[in-house]
Amino acid sequence: MIYVDRPAWPARGRLWSHLISDVSFAELHVFAEALGAPRRGFDRDHYDIPAERFVTAVWLGARVVPSRDLVRLLRAANLRRPKHLTRPTSSPRPDRADCQPDC
């Protein structure tokens, strides 16, 4: 099932919603593509979608839930990816034991 919260999160002069799946990221990506949400809107375990796409998301079948329920649903589905547990996209620093004297 796909879920969305109401647009309430301000950023870049707009209000945003969060779009999640409690089934799989594959299901979420397919739904987001049908919604016209760009892949860059995916953030670890959800899509950020602008308020302008909210009605369309609901029309396509997303169930509206309170924001606090999104994390609960992700955890129950074992799909939650908290920011503090995700790896940075840049290359990792070498282990100090592996460093040469110039590290």
Q: Over the stretch 28-68, which tens digit does the pLDDT of each residue have?
A: 999 999 999 999 999 989 999 999 999 999 999 999 999 99
Both tokens assigned to 51: 């308020």
User: Among positive and negative, which fits the CA dihedral 54, 57, 85, 89?
Assistant: negative
Domain count, the chain: 1
91: in domain: no
pLDDT number for residue 87: 55
95: in domain: no
Rg value, the chain, Cα? 17
Domain that holds residue 34: 2-83
57: in domain: yes
pLDDT band at 95 (very low <50, low <70, confident <90, very high): very low
Tracing tokens 């460093």 back to the chain, one arrives at 99
Fill in the DSSP letter of residue 63: E
For residues 11 and 5, give the distance between their C-alpha atoms in angstroms, rounded to a whole number: 15
Whether residue 94 has pLDDT greater than 50: no
